[in-house]
Amino acid sequence: MYSFAAANSRGSGGYNNQALLPRTSSLIQIASKRPIDVLALTETHHFSVHKDLSTAAEKSGYSVAAHSPRPTSRRNSYAGIILLCRDTTVASTTQPFTFTHDALRGRALAVTVVFKDNSSWNILCIYAPATRSMRPAFFKLLTSSLPDDFTPDICIGDFNVNASKPTPKYFAKFCHSMDLYDSWKPIDIFFGWNGLYLTYSSVTGSVRSIWGESEQATSL
């Protein structure tokens, strides 16, 4: 059994891709002390992976597997996703395609991860817009942008969904389009905060899940 997680790093790379902030380095260190094999860092603000981030990952036993940089426009300047994989459990990773639409750059990342037992997982990482009015169009665009030959086995990220409120219709439609079914799994502590995993699984075939943060659990 492998573990997947996501953490909102709130600007590890900064607008000019400056040195890694201590906060994000701490996130990676915390992940290494837990059974987390794949870690997605969202809201990194990065154009490219800074060497300090790569160094921090290596010191904690991770490698940078893939990244989706934020676009050059200031409108999406808070975006950016970096995927880290544990060296001892992950054999290889591939990025089967990239999202080209400006609204998805830095907000969606598709990666196929092969573990050392030869099991393969299609992972979709998401950082949904914090602005509520932008989310329906974002999830609609994301759904239409996924190729037919890529079905996510697991989705991780910051969906900006409030766990204390009913699931938004646009998010439910997104899950339904990929045969994902809602189920809540409460936890006590993860990365030092109290929160919930937002999980989904299919009724047939391999288990698929969306595992991410609610709006109430995005900061450390």
What is the domain partition of the chain in residue ranges? Answer: 4-217
Q: Over the stretch 123-178, which tens digit does the pLDDT of each residue have?
A: 999 999 988 999 999 999 999 999 999 988 888 888 888 767 787 889 888 888 88
**Residues 6 or more apart whose Cβ sits within 8 Å of residue 98:** 68, 110
Task: Give the dihedral of Cα atoms 22, 27, 33, 37; nearest 10 deg.
Answer: -130
Taking alpha carbons only, the member of 127, 92, 126 closest to residue 112 is 92
The dotted CATH code for 4-217 is 3.60.10.10
**Residues 6 or more apart whose Cβ sits within 8 Å of residue 205:** none
Q: Over the stretch 5-45, which tens digit does the pLDDT of each residue have?
A: 888 887 655 544 444 466 677 788 888 888 799 999 888 87
